[in-house]
Amino acid sequence: MCHCQSHNTGLAFRQPFHGQDMEHNSFKLPFVHLLCLLLLCPLVSCQLNYKFYDYTCPNLTKIVRYGVWSAITNDSRMAASLLRLHFHDCFVNGCDGSLLLDGGEKNAFPNRNSARGFEVIDGIKDSLEKACPATVSCTDILALAAREAVYLIGGPFWFLPLGRRDGLTTSESDANEQLPGFSEPLENITAKFTSKGLDLKDVAVLSGAHTIGFAQCFTFKSRLFDFGSSGKPDPLLDTSLLTSLQSTCPNQDDSDTKLAPLDSASSSKFDNLYYKLLLNNSGLLQSDQALMGDNTTASLVLNYSKFPYLFFKDFGASMVKMANIGVLTGQNGEIRKNCRLVN
């Protein structure tokens, strides 16, 4: 059944730590339900709903949140890693937990030696198997873990319909083909988003996830020394940032895997400073700074730099859209017992 909270993708800054109370608000008016069926169900699978695990796994949110909190306490980078796992899962043949399977997508270029956090999902899955065996999909765990990661480091909380099931296959070639690249032009990235039912606004909003986390030097080093095979740095890159990055990432192969923060001002706090950096030509990745080269995305960057609440609201909405790409429901897929292996 399609529950009409699907439209409520805003944020709850004071979402209670216990249970799923904030996810239980439900409108009972038949007219509203009719609108839901007519307008929302094409966008959000009608198999997903906010009360999916209420009776079968009532402590789900608490267990996921504790697992994510423990992981972030031990490693502040883990929030960004879990968010990235969710993104990279959903963008390859839909949100089906396929990235969590050993082999396949894990070996694709965008994930190899960079995707991390799998052991966190494994730990949460183990806890859930004790609390409610063979009930919660790895895909739902990943979607919830990404939300909790953002929320626990100061970001928005979004209401998430549940009931996704786990896929049975994983493909290295599909991941290489479908994931947006760090040096792709904006039109290519937008086309990949559009193919998933997202739009140009979602590109600008979800790029804001780069307000946390780090990137390996090889992903942006060409901007520092040989931009566009010119033998010179990217002329758009802020000079003080350029100097700093050239020190962190010298022009030699052994610096390729060194790390630099995507948001040099606050890499472990979810805020809107990423957009302020773009206005100052201080976006780390070429794909980040490219947002300033399009009138529509540049306008969104300006608005989000001024109004953090607007960014938080729109980020939650775009995350819900993304979390519903190509989901498996009903009898499709399975509920994995081990997130790394099909049953």
Q: Give the active site residues.
A: 88
Residue 163 marked ligand-binding = no
Q: How many angstroms separate the Cα of 198 from the Cα of each of 34, 178, 204, 297?
A: 24, 14, 11, 14
Residue 271 marked ligand-binding = yes
Q: Coil, strand or helix: which one is 216?
A: strand
Residue 21 marked ligand-binding = no
Tokens read off for 268:
């472990």
- With CA atoms as reference, report the closest residue to 238 among 212, 264, 200, 272: 264
Residue 54 marked ligand-binding = no
Residue found by looking up tokens 């895909």 in the block: 139
- With CA atoms as reference, report the closest residue to 156 among 12, 39, 258: 12
Residue 92 marked ligand-binding = yes
Residue 180 marked ligand-binding = yes
Specify the DSSP class assigned to residue 37: I
Residue 199 marked ligand-binding = no
Residue 24 marked ligand-binding = no
Residue 210 marked ligand-binding = yes
Contact between 122 and 340 under an 8 Å Cβ cutoff? The reply is yes
The number of residues in the chain equals 343
Residue 120 marked ligand-binding = no
Q: What angle do CA 88, 197, 22 make, to 5 degrees?
A: 75
Residue 94 marked ligand-binding = yes
* Residues making up the binding site for substrate: 180
* Residues making up the binding site: 89, 92, 94, 96, 98, 105, 180, 210-211, 263, 271
* Residues making up the binding site for Ca(2+): 89, 92, 94, 96, 98, 105, 211, 263, 271
* Residues making up the binding site for heme b: 210
